[in-house]
Structure 1
Amino acid sequence: MTGTQAAARRTGPAGAPPPARGGRPRIRITPPSRRTSLIVLVLLTVLGGGTTWAVYGSGWFRATKVTVRGERVLTEAQIEQAAAVPLGGPLASVDTGAVRERLLTALPRLARVDVARSWPHTVTVTVTERVPSAVLQNGRKFTEVDRDGVRFATVDRAPAGVPLVRLTPDASGAAASLRVFGTSRLLQSAIAVSRDLPDALHGRATAIRVRSFDGISVELTGGRDVMWGSAEQGAFKASVLTALMKAEPHATHYDVSAPSAPAASGS
């Protein structure tokens, strides 16, 4: 093979670059011209501006409706009024965080609020209401308290199936308990007891009586009662009480104040 033939084989026909190793031809990518890049940039700008106008300037995505979900005691009208969602403007401009804060501030009964935009025209408000775990009596009114001790509503009637907390300190323990723990702490203990009651007793506890820090008892329907003691070891006491009531279903008095040595009496 002559030198001329070897050079031609290396360069390929008509001076083209030699094929890549393995026999595949090399692909040369030509960068777009400045004019092409400018055209693409203009098109993207036009499309972006059109999208912005459609969302904010046109009537296609206006906020025209509020949908409320999850309400139980509160009405849809109460929630809509407290939410004060601005209607008529762009849906994208609705401040969902501000709506949520307005609801939580205006309606203490709400434990959780989620606000979302539902395209093309709706603001969806999903609420979770607090559930009363105990009731405190204030004159002729009743204050509902949830399992976390939050007092969230004052009502004219105590809700059915929710125990009423009665602070009735006895003569021997009144002064010491009130001096050391205070009324607020004793009420918190009663609410903790209500929270820890076995599920089987929910709706059957009519009152929680607090005589002292470690003298808390629970009154049940059917003339039965439970001596609970202090609010400590609540989960343990609940499991012991459940087993005790199964073993002694006809007893009228149960004592789990010392959960390692429970007792039942009466029939």
Structure 2
Amino acid sequence: MAGPTTAERGARQQESSGPPPARRPRLPALRTLIALAVALALLGAGGGWVLYGSQWLRLEEVSVSGTRVLTPAQVREAADAPLGAPLASVDTGAMENRLRRKLPRIAAVDVVRSWPQGIGLKVTERTPVLLVKKGGKFVEVDKGGVRFATVSHAPKGVPLLELRPSRSRSAAASLRRFGEGRLVREAVRVAGALPEAVAHRTRAVKVRSYDDISLTLTDGRTVAWGSGEKGAAKARTLTALLKAAPSARHFDVSVPTAPASSGS
């Protein structure tokens, strides 16, 4: 019987001797890794210096947009931006909180970095839906019931609250049950539900009790609204009534599914 061939003997010797020993990393490759690590460290240090230590990326300008009643100068003063500080270090959240605290007219504000040397303040102001007379001035109230500003002159197109509780027993009971604050909130709720075209034509929102709220339009016409409930349905119904009966003097949408108009 023939013995193993030369190739078979070589294969058996390789199996018995095991895998070849792992090669040690060459010295040049290790040097390359060290050089890369040093370069990355230097790059990080350089980037940090550019962001925080150089004069290139420091806050130099504050721009303001979105104001309607407030002036850009008022917003900049309240923001108290740290001019000259590294732009990367500006605490935008603290600036937002400061603006809302100092200027209650601001409903929301976005503070954004505008590289390389600016900050942008995008302001959203509150919109008054109702005025509360206080002495000889007027307090503006938004649709959330927030009293955010006191002004000397009533803004055009914003109705005035007239809180005149009825002397009836039911009205007195309503006042005791809900309190004046709740009645004011209901008036705000009604004013906030008015369509824009109607709101601008509304001179006053009169509150006699929780479910006896009415509107007086600028031309003297009146609207019985009822309570603040179902405001959207009442608004749609009133819009339709004003178009269908333009000569009517009195409208009743307290029950929006059964509206009425009268007078001429």
Structure 2 residues not aligned, in runs of 5+: 11-24
Match of residue 98 from structure 1: 94
- State yes or no: 1:65 paired with 2:61: yes
How much does 1:7 deviate?
Answer: 10
Question: Which has the larger displacement, 31-40 or 208-217?
Answer: 31-40
Cα deviation per residue 1:186-210 (whole Å; 9 max; x = unaligned)?
1111111101112331210110001
Match of residue 258 from structure 1: 255
- State yes or no: 1:74 paired with 2:70: yes
How much does 1:244 deviate?
Answer: 1.8
- State yes or no: 1:40 paired with 2:36: yes
Paired residue type of 2:164: T
- State yes or no: 1:88 paired with 2:81: no
Selected match of 2:177 from 180, 189, 200: 180
How much does 1:250 deviate?
Answer: 1.3
Selected match of 1:159 from 147, 155, 165: 155
- State yes or no: 1:146 paired with 2:142: yes
Structure 1 residues not aligned, in runs of 5+: 9-29
Matched residue SS, 1:124:
strand
Paired residue type of 2:180: T
1 CA distance for matches of 2:180 and 2:191? 17
- State yes or no: 1:117 paired with 2:113: yes
Alpha carbon RMSD of aligned pairs, Å? 2.0
How much does 1:4 deviate?
Answer: 6.1
Paired residue type of 1:229: G
2 CA distance for matches of 1:100 and 1:199? 30
Cα deviation per residue 1:215-250 (whole Å; 9 max; x = unaligned)?
110011212110001111111111111222222121
In the superposition, the TM-score normalised over structure 1's length comes to 0.87
Please list, as runs of the form range in 1=range in 2, the aligned pairs for 1:158-237 lying within 5 A after superposition: 158-172=154-168, 173-237=170-234
Matched residue SS, 1:33:
helix
Count of residues paired in the alignment: 247
2 CA distance for matches of 1:186 and 1:112? 27
Distance 1:5-1:69 versus aligned 2 partners, 3 A rule = same
Match of residue 16 from structure 1: none
1 CA distance for matches of 2:34 and 2:217? 81
Q: Which runs of 4+ in 1 moved over 2 A?
A: 3-8, 30-33
